[in-house]
A and B are shown apart, each in its own frame.
Chain A
Amino acid sequence: MSHEKYIRQIALPQVGHAGQEKLGRSRVLVVGAGGLGNAVLPYLASAGIGSIGVIDGDRVSLSNLHRQVLFAESDIGELKAAVACKKLSKQFPEITLIPYNDFLSGENALTLFAEYDIILDATDAIDIRYLINDACIVTGKPFVHASIYRFQFQVALFNAKNSGTYRCLYPTAPKTTQSCEEAGVMPSTVAMAGLYEVNEVFKYLLGIGKSQVNSLSLVDTLSNEQNHFSFERKNQEHITRAFFEKEYQRIEHVAFAKAEKEGYFLDVREFGEQPKLVFENYVQIPLSELENQLDLLSVNHPIYLFCQTGVRSKKAYRLLQDKGYGKLFCLAENAPEIEAKTIKIES
């Protein structure tokens, strides 16, 4: 690879020819080709990262264009990963861009991560961040994280050289959070968050500067204030391949209307939660009592699990799976949606 294109960054004593060679040999996987993905990809490519993978199963829509600047109106309806790679390949023909037109999942994460040096989190869903985190622990890969809420963003580098992980910072997911789609965002905020991420990637790959490890950077773009919050590294030895496979193996989802007649609808919410539901074959056993009340559940009938948001029904699914229940499904809908499809009982 000719280094002439990169001569301005090679001129930096912290980079030099050796640093440029390192970047050229590096493989970076970007998870998500949305706002953050569009911010990081041009700069990873322009700096001469040798191989860049992009995974996203989503397609371009009109409301993406204000912050996802690699896409044109003529790309609407096209696969984001494919369009981004095609565009960047034209601009930077000397590097390798690999699109994966699929969503990251428990089935593909470990194989994919194993092929890269560092993972860049450019997603917009917290549950996927736990998937990235756990897959990085299992495969021994570092990952750079950024996330945005309106005019603020958070950035950190996790699981790098024994540093803390996303679970050390946030052991469990909150019940509700808003994505950019719901909360609103300016393109400049997404771009800044993305560039902080790219900068962490460069520092890590080149071994220069101070990486944002064991500490979260929180930037407010309205005040330009920046806070750093340090956190303790916790033992993550329980995040093993077996844990990962169990946590992220596919859960069978089925629509309420498609449930079989001989099955039971198992509500695992606590008693007293609203909306109160009563309909044919409805059973309520709170998740907290489920393990002690298994005698109420037949292994021979299909069980359709639901709760308020889908978090507890997933836990109940895993618990019943462990106890040998085979005909298990999580309902695609939860209590509020089911209420709309059944007759409401006044409490």
Chain B
Amino acid sequence: MKVNYFGEIADITGKTADDIVLNNASVSALLAYLASTYNLLSDDIHIAVNHQLVSKEKEIQLTETDEIAVLSPFAGG
């Protein structure tokens, strides 16, 4: 599935997008992937599925065609 990274997250991953394959794809599996691959902590990031921000606590299944965004609050002003 397509995963887009924004702001500081893209600097940490070193890319603005990924195409990843997860077994039994879900938001929690995605969070585990981001933690193990990029050391991104769940507390510091927010996940949008098809442009809708989702609760990280709920078990949400993902499909191959879902468009994922990983973002975080920006500080600057």
Contact = CB atoms under 8 A, between A and B. Distances in A.
B48 A154 contact: no
B75 A218 contact: no
Contacts of B27: none
A148 B8 CA distance: 10
Q: Point out which of A125, A172, A227, A229 has the most chain B C-beta atoms below 10 A from its C-beta.
A: A229
Contacts of A122: 77
A220 B44 CA distance: 21
Contacts of B8: 149, 177-178, 183
B73 interface: yes
Interface of B: 4, 6-8, 11, 41, 43-46, 48, 51-53, 69, 71-77
A174 B69 contact: no
A178 B71 contact: no
B3 to A, nearest CB: 13
Interface stretch (A28-36, A255-263, A267-275, A300-308): A28-36
Q: Which 7 pairs show the lowest CB-CB distances between chains A and B? A: A180-B76, A148-B76, A147-B74, A124-B77, A177-B75, A149-B7, A149-B74
B10 to A, nearest CB: 9
B44 A218 contact: no
A35 B69 CA distance: 27
Contact of B51 (A147, A153, A190, A228): A228
Contacts, number: 94
A216 B52 CA distance: 10
Nearest to B48: A229
A173 interface: yes
Given A149-B8, A174-B43, A175-B41, A227 B51 contact: yes
B73 A147 contact: yes
Contacts of B7: 149-150, 152
A191 to B, nearest CB: 12
B74 A35 contact: no
Contacts of B6: 152, 218, 220, 227
Given A178-B8, A227-B51, A173 B73 contact: yes
26 contacts: A34-B77, A36-B77, A124-B75, A124-B76, A124-B77, A148-B77, A149-B75, A150-B11, A169-B53, A170-B46, A174-B44, A175-B44, A176-B44, A177-B8, A177-B72, A177-B74, A178-B75, A178-B76, A179-B76, A218-B71, A227-B69, A229-B48, A229-B52, A229-B53, A230-B52, A231-B53
